A and B are shown apart, each in its own frame.
Chain A
Amino acid sequence: MSNGAKPHLTSDYSTFMNQKTFVIVGTGAAGIGAAEAIRANDRDAKIILIGDEPAGYYSRPGLAYYLTGEIPEEQLFPFSRSEFKNARFDWITATVLRIDRDNRKLVLDNGVVLDYDCLLLATGASARKSDLPGSDLKGVVQLDNLHDAREILQHTRRAKRAVVLGGGITALEIVEGLVSQKIKVHYFLRGDRYWGNVLDETESKIIEHRLLEEGVRIHYHTDAEAILPGKGGLFGRRSDEVAGVRTKEGEEIPCEIVAVAIGVVPRIELAKDARLEIDRGVLVDDRMRTSDPNIFAAGDIAQAYDPFARRAVLDVLWPVACDQGRVAGINMAGGDAVYTKEVPLNVTRLAGLTTTIIGAVSTGGRDDDTIGIVRGDSETWRTIPDALVSQSGFDVNRIRLMIGETVVLGAIVMGDQTLSRPIHQIVKDQVDITSIKDKLVDGKDVSGILSDFWRAIRQK
Protein backbone atom coordinates (compact mmCIF):
# COMPACT_ATOMS: atom_id res chain seq x y z
CA MET A 1 0.00 0.00 0.00
CA SER A 2 2.94 2.34 0.34
CA ASN A 3 3.94 4.72 -2.35
CA GLY A 4 7.48 5.89 -1.80
CA ALA A 5 8.11 9.32 -0.35
CA LYS A 6 4.84 10.92 -1.49
CA PRO A 7 2.13 11.71 1.04
CA HIS A 8 -0.24 8.82 1.23
CA LEU A 9 -3.59 9.61 2.73
CA THR A 10 -5.43 6.32 2.66
CA SER A 11 -2.84 4.38 4.64
CA ASP A 12 -3.26 6.91 7.48
CA TYR A 13 -7.01 6.65 7.29
CA SER A 14 -7.26 2.86 7.33
CA THR A 15 -8.38 2.54 10.92
CA PHE A 16 -10.78 -0.27 10.31
CA MET A 17 -9.55 -3.54 8.94
CA ASN A 18 -12.49 -3.96 6.62
CA GLN A 19 -13.06 -0.31 5.94
CA LYS A 20 -13.48 0.25 2.24
CA THR A 21 -12.28 3.41 0.58
CA PHE A 22 -14.59 5.00 -1.95
CA VAL A 23 -13.23 7.89 -3.92
CA ILE A 24 -15.53 10.18 -5.86
CA VAL A 25 -14.02 12.51 -8.44
CA GLY A 26 -16.40 15.41 -8.91
CA THR A 27 -18.47 17.31 -6.35
CA GLY A 28 -21.59 18.04 -8.38
CA ALA A 29 -25.04 16.46 -8.24
CA ALA A 30 -23.87 12.99 -9.29
CA GLY A 31 -20.96 12.99 -6.80
CA ILE A 32 -23.11 14.06 -3.86
CA GLY A 33 -25.90 11.64 -4.81
CA ALA A 34 -23.36 8.82 -4.85
CA ALA A 35 -21.70 9.83 -1.58
CA GLU A 36 -25.08 9.84 0.17
CA ALA A 37 -26.00 6.44 -1.27
CA ILE A 38 -22.67 4.92 -0.23
CA ARG A 39 -23.05 6.26 3.31
CA ALA A 40 -26.61 4.91 3.53
CA ASN A 41 -25.37 1.47 2.53
CA ASP A 42 -22.03 1.37 4.33
CA ARG A 43 -21.82 3.20 7.65
CA ASP A 44 -18.09 2.67 8.10
CA ALA A 45 -16.90 3.38 4.58
CA LYS A 46 -14.22 5.94 3.96
CA ILE A 47 -15.71 8.38 1.46
CA ILE A 48 -13.42 10.90 -0.19
CA LEU A 49 -14.74 13.56 -2.54
CA ILE A 50 -12.23 15.25 -4.80
CA GLY A 51 -13.17 18.28 -6.86
CA ASP A 52 -11.49 21.20 -8.57
CA GLU A 53 -14.45 23.50 -7.86
CA PRO A 54 -13.32 25.77 -5.01
CA ALA A 55 -16.91 26.68 -4.11
CA GLY A 56 -17.77 23.03 -3.45
CA TYR A 57 -21.28 21.73 -4.07
CA TYR A 58 -23.95 24.17 -5.22
CA SER A 59 -26.89 24.27 -7.61
CA ARG A 60 -25.42 24.97 -11.03
CA PRO A 61 -28.87 25.46 -12.62
CA GLY A 62 -29.58 27.93 -9.81
CA LEU A 63 -26.93 30.26 -11.25
CA ALA A 64 -29.58 31.48 -13.72
CA TYR A 65 -31.68 32.77 -10.81
CA TYR A 66 -28.63 34.20 -9.09
CA LEU A 67 -27.88 36.21 -12.25
CA THR A 68 -31.40 37.60 -12.40
CA GLY A 69 -31.18 38.57 -8.73
CA GLU A 70 -33.98 36.21 -7.63
CA ILE A 71 -31.79 34.51 -5.04
CA PRO A 72 -28.63 35.58 -3.21
CA GLU A 73 -25.42 33.65 -3.67
CA GLU A 74 -25.58 31.83 -0.34
CA GLN A 75 -28.91 30.32 -1.36
CA LEU A 76 -27.17 28.26 -4.05
CA PHE A 77 -25.70 25.91 -1.46
CA PRO A 78 -28.14 23.14 -0.47
CA PHE A 79 -25.91 21.71 2.27
CA SER A 80 -23.73 23.34 4.87
CA ARG A 81 -20.11 22.32 5.41
CA SER A 82 -21.05 20.90 8.81
CA GLU A 83 -23.61 18.59 7.25
CA PHE A 84 -20.92 17.07 5.05
CA LYS A 85 -18.68 16.80 8.09
CA ASN A 86 -21.41 14.99 10.01
CA ALA A 87 -21.80 12.58 7.13
CA ARG A 88 -18.02 12.00 7.39
CA PHE A 89 -17.24 12.96 3.80
CA ASP A 90 -13.61 13.94 3.31
CA TRP A 91 -13.20 16.83 0.89
CA ILE A 92 -10.11 17.47 -1.14
CA THR A 93 -10.00 20.47 -3.44
CA ALA A 94 -7.62 19.31 -6.13
CA THR A 95 -7.43 18.04 -9.69
CA VAL A 96 -6.89 14.36 -10.38
CA LEU A 97 -4.04 13.98 -12.83
CA ARG A 98 -4.05 10.25 -13.42
CA ILE A 99 -5.73 6.98 -12.53
CA ASP A 100 -3.45 4.00 -11.96
CA ARG A 101 -5.98 1.25 -12.53
CA ASP A 102 -3.58 -1.65 -11.94
CA ASN A 103 -2.70 -0.47 -8.44
CA ARG A 104 -5.99 1.33 -7.78
CA LYS A 105 -4.40 4.67 -7.06
CA LEU A 106 -5.12 8.24 -7.99
CA VAL A 107 -2.47 10.88 -8.50
CA LEU A 108 -3.53 14.43 -7.59
CA ASP A 109 -2.03 17.71 -8.68
CA ASN A 110 -1.07 18.57 -5.09
CA GLY A 111 1.32 15.62 -5.01
CA VAL A 112 -0.99 13.37 -3.02
CA VAL A 113 -1.48 9.77 -4.08
CA LEU A 114 -4.72 8.12 -2.97
CA ASP A 115 -5.69 4.46 -2.82
CA TYR A 116 -9.22 3.46 -3.70
CA ASP A 117 -11.22 0.29 -3.50
CA CYS A 118 -13.91 1.68 -5.69
CA LEU A 119 -13.89 4.85 -7.77
CA LEU A 120 -16.62 7.05 -9.21
CA LEU A 121 -15.92 9.46 -12.02
CA ALA A 122 -18.44 12.29 -11.90
CA THR A 123 -16.38 15.06 -13.40
CA GLY A 124 -19.28 16.69 -15.25
CA ALA A 125 -19.02 18.80 -18.37
CA SER A 126 -17.37 22.12 -19.02
CA ALA A 127 -18.23 24.92 -21.42
CA ARG A 128 -16.68 24.95 -24.86
CA LYS A 129 -14.31 27.85 -25.16
CA SER A 130 -14.66 30.46 -27.84
CA ASP A 131 -11.90 30.32 -30.45
CA LEU A 132 -12.65 33.75 -31.88
CA PRO A 133 -9.79 36.24 -32.03
CA GLY A 134 -9.97 38.36 -28.89
CA SER A 135 -11.48 35.62 -26.71
CA ASP A 136 -8.93 36.28 -23.97
CA LEU A 137 -10.02 39.91 -23.49
CA LYS A 138 -11.53 41.06 -20.22
CA GLY A 139 -15.29 41.06 -20.60
CA VAL A 140 -15.51 37.78 -22.52
CA VAL A 141 -17.60 35.56 -20.27
CA GLN A 142 -19.37 32.21 -20.08
CA LEU A 143 -21.74 30.66 -17.55
CA ASP A 144 -20.19 27.42 -16.42
CA ASN A 145 -19.75 27.80 -12.69
CA LEU A 146 -20.19 30.15 -9.75
CA HIS A 147 -16.98 31.98 -10.56
CA ASP A 148 -18.33 32.78 -14.05
CA ALA A 149 -21.63 34.05 -12.63
CA ARG A 150 -19.79 36.34 -10.21
CA GLU A 151 -17.65 37.60 -13.07
CA ILE A 152 -20.70 38.37 -15.24
CA LEU A 153 -22.30 40.33 -12.40
CA GLN A 154 -19.07 42.18 -11.78
CA HIS A 155 -18.83 43.22 -15.44
CA THR A 156 -22.46 44.38 -15.50
CA ARG A 157 -21.62 47.09 -12.94
CA ARG A 158 -19.59 48.97 -15.53
CA ALA A 159 -21.11 47.76 -18.79
CA LYS A 160 -24.00 49.09 -20.83
CA ARG A 161 -24.08 46.71 -23.78
CA ALA A 162 -23.46 43.02 -24.38
CA VAL A 163 -23.31 40.60 -27.29
CA VAL A 164 -24.45 37.03 -26.61
CA LEU A 165 -23.24 34.24 -28.90
CA GLY A 166 -24.54 30.68 -28.87
CA GLY A 167 -27.75 28.87 -28.13
CA GLY A 168 -29.60 26.40 -25.96
CA ILE A 169 -30.77 27.16 -22.45
CA THR A 170 -27.52 28.71 -21.20
CA ALA A 171 -27.46 31.46 -23.84
CA LEU A 172 -30.92 32.57 -22.77
CA GLU A 173 -30.03 32.31 -19.08
CA ILE A 174 -27.24 34.78 -19.76
CA VAL A 175 -29.51 37.01 -21.86
CA GLU A 176 -32.12 37.06 -19.07
CA GLY A 177 -29.48 37.74 -16.45
CA LEU A 178 -28.02 40.64 -18.44
CA VAL A 179 -31.43 42.14 -19.20
CA SER A 180 -32.36 42.10 -15.51
CA GLN A 181 -29.10 43.94 -14.81
CA LYS A 182 -30.24 46.63 -17.28
CA ILE A 183 -27.75 45.74 -19.99
CA LYS A 184 -28.69 46.27 -23.64
CA VAL A 185 -28.32 42.84 -25.23
CA HIS A 186 -27.54 41.94 -28.84
CA TYR A 187 -28.20 38.24 -29.45
CA PHE A 188 -26.54 36.71 -32.52
CA LEU A 189 -28.18 33.75 -34.26
CA ARG A 190 -26.32 32.06 -37.10
CA GLY A 191 -29.53 30.73 -38.61
CA ASP A 192 -33.06 32.03 -38.84
CA ARG A 193 -34.30 30.81 -35.46
CA TYR A 194 -33.51 29.86 -31.88
CA TRP A 195 -32.68 26.22 -30.83
CA GLY A 196 -33.89 24.73 -34.08
CA ASN A 197 -33.04 21.11 -33.34
CA VAL A 198 -35.31 20.94 -30.28
CA LEU A 199 -38.01 23.57 -30.79
CA ASP A 200 -40.25 23.83 -33.83
CA GLU A 201 -40.61 27.05 -35.80
CA THR A 202 -43.60 28.37 -33.86
CA GLU A 203 -41.91 27.72 -30.51
CA SER A 204 -38.72 29.45 -31.64
CA LYS A 205 -40.75 32.45 -32.79
CA ILE A 206 -42.64 32.63 -29.48
CA ILE A 207 -39.33 32.79 -27.60
CA GLU A 208 -37.79 35.30 -30.01
CA HIS A 209 -40.89 37.50 -29.78
CA ARG A 210 -40.60 37.55 -25.99
CA LEU A 211 -36.92 38.45 -26.22
CA LEU A 212 -37.80 41.37 -28.49
CA GLU A 213 -40.40 42.51 -25.97
CA GLU A 214 -37.70 42.52 -23.30
CA GLY A 215 -35.67 44.87 -25.47
CA VAL A 216 -33.19 42.28 -26.77
CA ARG A 217 -32.03 42.89 -30.31
CA ILE A 218 -31.77 39.63 -32.24
CA HIS A 219 -29.35 39.58 -35.18
CA TYR A 220 -30.39 36.74 -37.51
CA HIS A 221 -27.94 35.06 -39.92
CA THR A 222 -25.14 36.75 -38.03
CA ASP A 223 -21.85 35.26 -36.99
CA ALA A 224 -19.04 36.91 -35.07
CA GLU A 225 -15.66 37.14 -36.76
CA ALA A 226 -13.66 38.74 -33.97
CA ILE A 227 -13.98 40.25 -30.52
CA LEU A 228 -12.46 43.71 -30.63
CA PRO A 229 -10.21 45.27 -27.96
CA GLY A 230 -10.39 48.84 -26.74
CA LYS A 231 -8.09 51.48 -28.16
CA GLY A 232 -7.04 52.91 -24.82
CA GLY A 233 -7.09 56.62 -24.20
CA LEU A 234 -8.27 58.52 -21.17
CA PHE A 235 -11.96 57.52 -21.25
CA GLY A 236 -11.91 54.63 -23.74
CA ARG A 237 -11.83 50.90 -23.19
CA ARG A 238 -8.36 49.53 -22.50
CA SER A 239 -6.54 47.37 -25.01
CA ASP A 240 -7.05 44.30 -22.81
CA GLU A 241 -10.81 44.91 -22.54
CA VAL A 242 -13.69 44.13 -24.87
CA ALA A 243 -14.88 47.11 -26.89
CA GLY A 244 -17.03 45.41 -29.49
CA VAL A 245 -17.69 42.54 -31.87
CA ARG A 246 -17.08 42.46 -35.61
CA THR A 247 -19.45 40.28 -37.61
CA LYS A 248 -18.46 38.28 -40.68
CA GLU A 249 -20.33 40.86 -42.74
CA GLY A 250 -17.97 43.52 -41.37
CA GLU A 251 -20.42 45.28 -39.07
CA GLU A 252 -18.97 46.42 -35.74
CA ILE A 253 -21.19 46.37 -32.67
CA PRO A 254 -19.80 48.23 -29.66
CA CYS A 255 -20.19 46.40 -26.34
CA GLU A 256 -18.40 45.84 -23.05
CA ILE A 257 -19.41 42.20 -22.52
CA VAL A 258 -19.31 39.24 -24.90
CA ALA A 259 -20.99 36.11 -23.54
CA VAL A 260 -20.38 32.77 -25.19
CA ALA A 261 -22.62 29.70 -24.76
CA ILE A 262 -21.84 27.31 -27.60
CA GLY A 263 -22.24 24.05 -25.72
CA VAL A 264 -20.44 21.84 -23.23
CA VAL A 265 -17.95 19.02 -23.46
CA PRO A 266 -18.03 16.04 -21.07
CA ARG A 267 -14.76 15.97 -19.10
CA ILE A 268 -13.65 12.49 -20.10
CA GLU A 269 -9.87 13.06 -20.28
CA LEU A 270 -9.15 11.07 -17.10
CA ALA A 271 -11.20 8.11 -18.33
CA LYS A 272 -9.60 8.35 -21.75
CA ASP A 273 -6.07 8.37 -20.31
CA ALA A 274 -6.99 5.40 -18.13
CA ARG A 275 -8.14 3.59 -21.27
CA LEU A 276 -11.70 3.07 -20.14
CA GLU A 277 -14.19 2.48 -22.93
CA ILE A 278 -15.42 5.82 -24.18
CA ASP A 279 -17.50 7.22 -26.99
CA ARG A 280 -18.79 10.80 -26.67
CA GLY A 281 -18.87 10.12 -22.93
CA VAL A 282 -17.73 7.28 -20.69
CA LEU A 283 -19.69 4.16 -21.59
CA VAL A 284 -21.50 2.58 -18.64
CA ASP A 285 -23.73 -0.43 -18.14
CA ASP A 286 -27.09 -0.38 -16.35
CA ARG A 287 -25.27 -0.40 -12.98
CA MET A 288 -23.30 2.71 -14.01
CA ARG A 289 -20.17 0.55 -14.14
CA THR A 290 -17.51 1.39 -16.72
CA SER A 291 -15.37 -1.15 -18.57
CA ASP A 292 -13.31 -1.43 -15.33
CA PRO A 293 -15.39 -3.24 -12.64
CA ASN A 294 -13.91 -1.03 -9.89
CA ILE A 295 -14.69 2.24 -11.65
CA PHE A 296 -18.14 3.75 -12.07
CA ALA A 297 -19.22 6.89 -13.91
CA ALA A 298 -22.28 9.11 -13.46
CA GLY A 299 -23.67 12.46 -14.51
CA ASP A 300 -22.74 14.53 -17.53
CA ILE A 301 -19.82 12.29 -18.49
CA ALA A 302 -21.77 9.01 -18.42
CA GLN A 303 -23.16 7.71 -21.68
CA ALA A 304 -25.92 5.29 -20.75
CA TYR A 305 -28.28 3.20 -22.87
CA ASP A 306 -31.59 4.87 -23.58
CA PRO A 307 -34.42 2.46 -24.43
CA PHE A 308 -36.36 5.30 -26.09
CA ALA A 309 -33.57 6.43 -28.39
CA ARG A 310 -32.32 2.81 -28.68
CA ARG A 311 -28.70 3.88 -28.23
CA ALA A 312 -26.35 5.12 -25.52
CA VAL A 313 -26.85 8.85 -25.04
CA LEU A 314 -25.49 11.80 -23.08
CA ASP A 315 -27.71 13.88 -20.82
CA VAL A 316 -26.62 17.11 -19.19
CA LEU A 317 -29.54 17.23 -16.78
CA TRP A 318 -29.42 17.71 -13.02
CA PRO A 319 -32.02 15.07 -11.96
CA VAL A 320 -30.44 12.49 -14.28
CA ALA A 321 -27.06 13.15 -12.65
CA CYS A 322 -28.61 12.70 -9.17
CA ASP A 323 -30.25 9.41 -10.18
CA GLN A 324 -27.14 8.04 -11.83
CA GLY A 325 -25.02 9.04 -8.84
CA ARG A 326 -27.38 7.29 -6.43
CA VAL A 327 -27.45 4.09 -8.51
CA ALA A 328 -23.65 4.11 -8.81
CA GLY A 329 -23.30 4.70 -5.05
CA ILE A 330 -25.56 1.78 -4.13
CA ASN A 331 -23.68 -0.57 -6.45
CA MET A 332 -20.28 0.68 -5.28
CA ALA A 333 -21.30 -0.11 -1.71
CA GLY A 334 -22.15 -3.68 -2.67
CA GLY A 335 -25.87 -3.25 -3.31
CA ASP A 336 -27.67 -3.97 -6.53
CA ALA A 337 -29.45 -1.11 -8.23
CA VAL A 338 -30.32 -0.89 -11.89
CA TYR A 339 -30.35 2.43 -13.70
CA THR A 340 -33.39 2.60 -15.86
CA LYS A 341 -33.23 5.65 -17.98
CA GLU A 342 -36.39 7.65 -17.70
CA VAL A 343 -37.83 9.84 -20.40
CA PRO A 344 -35.56 12.89 -20.33
CA LEU A 345 -37.39 15.86 -18.89
CA ASN A 346 -36.44 19.45 -18.29
CA VAL A 347 -38.57 22.25 -17.03
CA THR A 348 -36.85 25.48 -17.84
CA ARG A 349 -37.53 29.13 -18.40
CA LEU A 350 -36.94 30.38 -21.90
CA ALA A 351 -37.23 34.15 -22.14
CA GLY A 352 -39.30 34.09 -18.98
CA LEU A 353 -41.67 31.45 -20.35
CA THR A 354 -41.84 28.18 -18.43
CA THR A 355 -41.21 25.35 -20.88
CA THR A 356 -41.29 21.60 -20.29
CA ILE A 357 -39.46 19.39 -22.75
CA ILE A 358 -40.23 15.66 -22.58
CA GLY A 359 -38.92 12.73 -24.64
CA ALA A 360 -38.28 12.84 -28.40
CA VAL A 361 -39.37 16.23 -29.69
CA SER A 362 -37.28 17.14 -32.70
CA THR A 363 -39.02 18.01 -35.93
CA GLY A 364 -35.74 17.74 -37.82
CA GLY A 365 -34.64 21.38 -37.60
CA ARG A 366 -31.02 22.51 -37.41
CA ASP A 367 -29.16 24.39 -34.74
CA ASP A 368 -26.03 26.15 -35.92
CA ASP A 369 -25.47 28.12 -32.73
CA THR A 370 -24.15 25.27 -30.58
CA ILE A 371 -21.80 22.34 -31.03
CA GLY A 372 -22.83 18.96 -29.60
CA ILE A 373 -24.66 19.04 -26.30
CA VAL A 374 -25.57 22.05 -24.14
CA ARG A 375 -26.48 22.39 -20.47
CA GLY A 376 -29.97 21.27 -19.51
CA ASP A 377 -29.99 19.16 -22.65
CA SER A 378 -30.58 15.55 -23.64
CA GLU A 379 -29.45 13.89 -26.85
CA THR A 380 -32.73 11.97 -26.75
CA TRP A 381 -34.69 15.16 -27.46
CA ARG A 382 -33.05 15.38 -30.86
CA THR A 383 -34.35 11.95 -31.82
CA ILE A 384 -36.75 12.55 -34.69
CA PRO A 385 -39.63 10.24 -33.83
CA ASP A 386 -41.76 8.49 -36.40
CA ALA A 387 -44.73 10.50 -35.26
CA LEU A 388 -47.63 12.73 -36.12
CA VAL A 389 -47.47 16.19 -34.65
CA SER A 390 -50.36 17.59 -32.65
CA GLN A 391 -50.09 21.25 -31.83
CA SER A 392 -52.37 23.69 -30.17
CA GLY A 393 -51.84 27.26 -29.09
CA PHE A 394 -49.68 29.62 -31.06
CA ASP A 395 -49.22 32.37 -28.50
CA VAL A 396 -47.53 31.95 -25.13
CA ASN A 397 -49.50 28.87 -24.10
CA ARG A 398 -48.70 26.00 -26.37
CA ILE A 399 -48.72 22.21 -26.32
CA ARG A 400 -46.95 20.13 -28.95
CA LEU A 401 -47.27 16.35 -28.84
CA MET A 402 -45.28 13.85 -30.89
CA ILE A 403 -47.80 11.07 -31.40
CA GLY A 404 -46.58 7.59 -32.32
CA GLU A 405 -48.61 4.52 -33.30
CA THR A 406 -50.27 4.07 -29.90
CA VAL A 407 -48.32 6.29 -27.48
CA VAL A 408 -47.09 9.86 -27.07
CA LEU A 409 -43.32 9.87 -27.76
CA GLY A 410 -42.50 13.41 -26.73
CA ALA A 411 -43.99 16.77 -25.87
CA ILE A 412 -43.25 20.44 -25.35
CA VAL A 413 -45.48 22.40 -23.01
CA MET A 414 -45.00 26.17 -23.04
CA GLY A 415 -46.58 28.74 -20.75
CA ASP A 416 -49.53 27.23 -18.85
CA GLN A 417 -48.07 24.17 -17.12
CA THR A 418 -51.33 22.60 -15.92
CA LEU A 419 -50.86 19.60 -18.20
CA SER A 420 -47.10 19.32 -17.95
CA ARG A 421 -47.16 16.69 -15.21
CA PRO A 422 -49.96 14.55 -16.73
CA ILE A 423 -48.26 14.61 -20.15
CA HIS A 424 -44.94 13.65 -18.57
CA GLN A 425 -46.66 10.70 -16.92
CA ILE A 426 -48.41 9.70 -20.16
CA VAL A 427 -45.08 9.70 -22.05
CA LYS A 428 -43.17 8.01 -19.22
CA ASP A 429 -45.68 5.20 -18.68
CA GLN A 430 -46.26 4.79 -22.42
CA VAL A 431 -49.99 5.07 -21.86
CA ASP A 432 -52.05 3.79 -24.80
CA ILE A 433 -53.71 6.86 -26.33
CA THR A 434 -55.34 5.09 -29.29
CA SER A 435 -58.82 6.11 -28.11
CA ILE A 436 -58.01 9.85 -28.36
CA LYS A 437 -55.33 9.76 -31.05
CA ASP A 438 -57.48 11.09 -33.90
CA LYS A 439 -58.82 13.92 -31.77
CA LEU A 440 -55.31 14.88 -30.67
CA VAL A 441 -53.98 14.91 -34.22
CA ASP A 442 -56.96 17.04 -35.17
CA GLY A 443 -55.51 19.64 -32.79
CA LYS A 444 -58.80 21.09 -31.55
CA ASP A 445 -58.98 21.54 -27.78
CA VAL A 446 -55.95 19.34 -27.06
CA SER A 447 -55.93 20.56 -23.44
CA GLY A 448 -59.55 19.57 -22.88
CA ILE A 449 -59.11 16.15 -24.47
CA LEU A 450 -55.97 15.44 -22.45
CA SER A 451 -57.54 16.67 -19.21
CA ASP A 452 -60.55 14.37 -19.64
CA PHE A 453 -58.29 11.47 -20.63
CA TRP A 454 -56.04 12.03 -17.62
CA ARG A 455 -59.01 12.24 -15.25
CA ALA A 456 -60.38 8.97 -16.63
CA ILE A 457 -57.00 7.22 -16.16
CA ARG A 458 -56.70 8.50 -12.61
CA GLN A 459 -60.15 7.24 -11.76
CA LYS A 460 -59.30 3.78 -13.04
Chain B
Amino acid sequence: MTFTSIFQKDKTKRSVLVEGQVVPDSARCVQCGICSFHCPIEIDVRRHAWTGQPVQASRCLTCGECVARCPRGVLRFERIDLFEK
Protein backbone atom coordinates (compact mmCIF):
# COMPACT_ATOMS: atom_id res chain seq x y z
CA MET B 1 0.00 0.00 0.00
CA THR B 2 1.47 3.33 -1.01
CA PHE B 3 1.37 6.52 1.02
CA THR B 4 -1.16 8.12 -1.32
CA SER B 5 -3.44 5.10 -1.40
CA ILE B 6 -3.90 5.34 2.37
CA PHE B 7 -5.35 8.81 1.91
CA GLN B 8 -7.34 7.68 -1.06
CA LYS B 9 -9.04 5.01 1.05
CA ASP B 10 -9.71 7.46 3.83
CA LYS B 11 -11.25 9.92 1.46
CA THR B 12 -13.54 7.27 0.06
CA LYS B 13 -14.65 6.26 3.51
CA ARG B 14 -15.30 9.86 4.48
CA SER B 15 -17.32 10.47 1.37
CA VAL B 16 -19.43 7.40 2.22
CA LEU B 17 -19.97 8.76 5.71
CA VAL B 18 -21.24 12.03 4.34
CA GLU B 19 -23.19 10.76 1.38
CA GLY B 20 -24.47 7.37 2.45
CA GLN B 21 -26.68 5.91 5.12
CA VAL B 22 -28.07 2.47 5.94
CA VAL B 23 -31.73 2.21 4.99
CA PRO B 24 -33.99 -0.65 6.11
CA ASP B 25 -36.79 -2.32 4.18
CA SER B 26 -39.14 -3.26 7.01
CA ALA B 27 -41.22 -5.59 4.83
CA ARG B 28 -38.29 -8.02 4.80
CA CYS B 29 -37.30 -7.78 8.46
CA VAL B 30 -38.10 -10.44 11.05
CA GLN B 31 -36.36 -8.68 13.96
CA CYS B 32 -33.79 -11.47 14.42
CA GLY B 33 -31.23 -8.91 15.60
CA ILE B 34 -28.20 -10.20 13.66
CA CYS B 35 -27.62 -6.60 12.46
CA SER B 36 -27.51 -5.13 15.97
CA PHE B 37 -25.39 -8.05 17.21
CA HIS B 38 -22.69 -7.32 14.65
CA CYS B 39 -22.67 -3.53 14.87
CA PRO B 40 -19.19 -2.65 16.20
CA ILE B 41 -20.48 0.43 18.00
CA GLU B 42 -23.72 -1.14 19.22
CA ILE B 43 -26.25 0.86 17.24
CA ASP B 44 -29.58 -0.93 17.51
CA VAL B 45 -30.03 -1.31 13.76
CA ARG B 46 -32.91 -3.70 14.36
CA ARG B 47 -34.93 -0.89 15.95
CA HIS B 48 -34.45 1.17 12.79
CA ALA B 49 -35.81 -1.73 10.76
CA TRP B 50 -38.84 -1.95 13.09
CA THR B 51 -39.66 1.75 12.71
CA GLY B 52 -38.55 1.97 9.07
CA GLN B 53 -36.15 4.83 9.87
CA PRO B 54 -32.73 5.10 8.16
CA VAL B 55 -29.70 4.76 10.43
CA GLN B 56 -28.86 8.44 10.71
CA ALA B 57 -26.78 8.15 13.86
CA SER B 58 -23.71 10.29 13.45
CA ARG B 59 -21.75 7.51 15.14
CA CYS B 60 -22.54 5.05 12.33
CA LEU B 61 -19.29 4.05 10.69
CA THR B 62 -21.06 2.81 7.54
CA CYS B 63 -18.77 -0.18 7.86
CA GLY B 64 -21.38 -2.35 6.17
CA GLU B 65 -21.32 -5.17 8.75
CA CYS B 66 -25.10 -5.01 9.28
CA VAL B 67 -25.80 -4.80 5.55
CA ALA B 68 -23.60 -7.81 4.83
CA ARG B 69 -24.73 -9.92 7.80
CA CYS B 70 -28.50 -9.52 7.40
CA PRO B 71 -29.72 -12.88 6.10
CA ARG B 72 -32.79 -11.35 4.46
CA GLY B 73 -31.48 -8.37 2.54
CA VAL B 74 -33.30 -5.87 4.76
CA LEU B 75 -30.54 -3.27 4.79
CA ARG B 76 -28.90 -1.34 2.01
CA PHE B 77 -26.74 1.73 1.55
CA GLU B 78 -28.53 4.67 0.09
CA ARG B 79 -26.99 7.86 -1.12
CA ILE B 80 -28.10 10.95 0.78
CA ASP B 81 -28.85 13.74 -1.61
CA LEU B 82 -27.93 16.76 0.46
CA PHE B 83 -29.72 19.11 -1.89
CA GLU B 84 -32.92 17.13 -2.21
CA LYS B 85 -36.01 19.02 -1.11
Residues of A that sit less than 8 Å from B by CB: 29, 59-62, 64-65, 70-72, 75-78, 318-319, 322, 342, 345, 347-349, 354, 356, 417, 420-421
Contacts and interface: CB of A to CB of B under 8 A. Distances in A.
A417 B71 contact: no
Interface string B24-51: 0111111111101100000000110010
A75 B73 contact: no
A78 B73 contact: no
B27 A342 contact: yes
B30 A75 contact: no
A64 B36 CA distance: 17
A59 B32 contact: yes
Nearest to B47: A78
Contacts of A77: 33
8 contacts: A62-B32, A64-B32, A71-B33, A75-B37, A78-B46, A78-B50, A319-B30, A348-B72
Given A75-B37, A78-B50, A421-B73, A59 B27 contact: no
A347 B28 contact: yes
B28 A319 contact: yes
Interface string B66-85: 00000111101000000000
A421 B72 CA distance: 11
Contacts of A78: 31, 33, 46-47, 50
Which of B33, B37, B50 neighbours the largest number of chain A CB atoms within 10 Å of its CB? Answer: B33
Contacts of B72: 347-348, 354
Sorted nearest first, the 7 A-B pairs with minimum C-beta distance are: A62-B32, A61-B30, A347-B72, A59-B31, A75-B33, A318-B30, A78-B31
The A contact surface, by secondary structure, is mixed
B29 A354 contact: no
Contacts, number: 65
Given A319-B26, A319-B27, A71 B71 contact: no
B46 A345 contact: no
Contact of A71 (B26, B29, B34): B34
Contact of B30 (A62, A70, A356): A62
A64 B37 CA distance: 15
A74 to B, nearest CB: 9
Contact of B31 (A64, A318, A345): A318
Contact of B28 (A29, A65, A71, A345): A345
A263 B36 CA distance: 30
Contacts of A421: 25, 73, 76
Nearest to A83: B47
B16 to A, nearest CB: 20
Nearest to B50: A78
B73 A420 contact: yes
Contacts of B73: 347, 354, 356, 417, 420-421
B66 to A, nearest CB: 13
A415 to B, nearest CB: 12
A349 B71 contact: yes
Nearest to B36: A75
A59 B39 CA distance: 18
B14 to A, nearest CB: 27
A149 to B, nearest CB: 12
Nearest to A76: B33
Nearest to A72: B37
A297 to B, nearest CB: 21
A421 B26 CA distance: 12
Contact of A65 (B25, B29, B34): B34
Contact of A59 (B26, B30, B76): B30
A70 B25 CA distance: 22
A349 B26 CA distance: 18
A319 B71 CA distance: 15
Contacts of A318: 29-31
B47 to A, nearest CB: 7
A346 B74 CA distance: 11
A356 B46 CA distance: 20
Nearest to B69: A70
Nearest to A58: B31
A76 B37 CA distance: 10
Nearest to B46: A78
Contacts of A356: 73
